[in-house]
């Protein structure tokens, strides 16, 4: 398929009517596709009894327990120290 043909098809493809959109749904234009994908995945994938989640899959949002005291002491008297220099 040529690039021009692809762009022509892309211009006219629509999944939802803009006049019947819901105010609260920000994904109304692709809601039909999202629902179809969710239904397909939920019917095809049946997780087992034990499911493991890796540490890198969920970002850490807590505070750091240990801050390097040498960095804090070094930057205490500085003005305009770069944030990356403070390791926070």
CB distance 47 to 34 below 8 Å? no
Q: Which residue has the higher pLDDT, 45 or 74?
A: 45
Spatial separation of the C-alpha atoms in residues 82 and 44, rounded to whole Å: 50
| pTM over cut 0.75 | no
Long-range own/partner contacts, residues 4-8 (CB < 8 A, 24 or more apart): none
Tens-digit pLDDT profile for residues 26-42: 888 888 889 999 999 99
**22 contacts: CB under 8 Å, gap ≥ 6:** 28
Spatial separation of the C-alpha atoms in residues 70 and 55, rounded to whole Å: 29
Long-range own/partner contacts, residues 64-69 (CB < 8 A, 24 or more apart): 64/88
Centroid of chain to Cα 18: 25
* pLDDT cut 70: percent of the chain above it: 67
Tens-digit pLDDT profile for residues 63-79: 666 555 566 666 566 66
């Amino acid at each position: 398929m040529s690039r021009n043909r692809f762009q022509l098809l892309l211009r006219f493809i629509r999944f939802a009517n803009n006049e019947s959109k819901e105010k609260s749904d920000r994904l109304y234009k692709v809601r039909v596709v999202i629902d179809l994908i969710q239904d397909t995945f939920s019917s095809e994938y049946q997780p087992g009894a034990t499911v493991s989640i890796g540490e890198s899959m969920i970002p850490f949002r807590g505070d750091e327990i240990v801050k390097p005291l040498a960095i804090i002491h070094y930057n205490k008297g500085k003005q305009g120290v770069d944030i990356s220099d403070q390791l926070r």
